[in-house]
Structure 1
Amino acid sequence: MTITRWNPFREFEDILDRYNRSVQPGTRNGESSELMRKADWAPAVDVTETKTDYLIKAELPGVNKEDVKVSVEDNILSIQGERHLEKEEQDKKHHRIERFYGSFARSFQLPDNVDENNIQAEYKDGLLTLKLNKVEKAQPKTIEINLH
């Protein structure tokens, strides 16, 4: 029999992982819904605003540019894609895998003052940068009524 050192933190991490899987949105009794199967993880995102535009930066390390899709539909900006798991080689054994693999998705409701037809995207060193230009909101129109 091999003696192993007890690590209470590892046990705590296992309990937290099991708990998180059981209470995830879109799950019931620990079973994933169809929505959760479509997106296995969500990248970290920063959203900033200046006087002229909004800037969205999404961290996608290890994701190929060809595996990322950005789209706008019904005033919702969506970032979708997939990070592929490295193939396990015969002479290599994985002891721990903490990075997320599989499909990812993030969606954002766009403000009314965004020009949906002029969104600029750049992908460099695993960082997706989206620049959304602001447009002036249409001012409410006042119509005078003449009474006779």
Structure 2
Amino acid sequence: MAILRYNPFAEIATVQSQIDKIFEDLQAQTFKTPAAELTETDDALYLRLELPGVAAKDVDIEVTENAVKVVAERKLENQERTRSEFYYGKFQRVIPLKARIQNTNVTADYQDGILTLTLPKSEQEKNKVVKVNLEQPTA
């Protein structure tokens, strides 16, 4: 019977490799769903999405009265890469909106990897007033 020497550092290296793989997967998934910021005023909703490294021509935006769908693709420019932590490929995100909007009057701006959509509220939403009744406690 051969005697094998136990090396705990080999097991630690294996665990470290598995943890690195988990973090790499998390980084890739983070870009697959870009970060979003939704701001609301009396007249409009403002939606900002982070799309770093995506060309404007590779972004497709669909807007309905109550949701925004963004489909984009980050393309690999240099085929001679050896190691990359960037995510390349297609992704999409559908963002439900808090209020109904005029989807025919949406404007878009794309600068420095940030997509900004101005989504004007529909007239029904602008004029929406909710009356709240306070009930008086009976003594």
Superposition TM-score, scaled by structure 1 size:
0.62
What's the % identity of the aligned pairs? 34
CA contact (8 A) 2:65 2:101 kept: no
Q: Which runs of 4+ in 1 moved over 6 A?
A: none
Larger proportion of helix: 2
> Which residue is 1:64 aligned to?
55
SS in structure 2 opposite 1:12?
Answer: helix
Answer yes or no: is 1:103 the counterpart of 2:90: yes
- For these two proteins, the number of residue pairs brought into alignment is 114
> Which residue is 1:11 aligned to?
18
Q: Which is higher, the Rg of structure 1 or of structure 2?
A: 2
CA contact (8 A) 1:43 1:106 kept: yes
Gaps of 5+ in 1: 25-39, 140-148
Q: Distance in 2 between matches of 1:128 and 1:70?
A: 10
Larger proportion of strand: 1
Superposition TM-score, scaled by structure 2 size:
0.65
CA contact (8 A) 1:52 1:133 kept: yes
> Which residue is 2:82 aligned to?
94
Q: Distance in 1 between matches of 2:65 and 2:44?
A: 20
> Which residue is 1:136 aligned to?
123
Distance 1:50 1:9, change over 3 A: farther
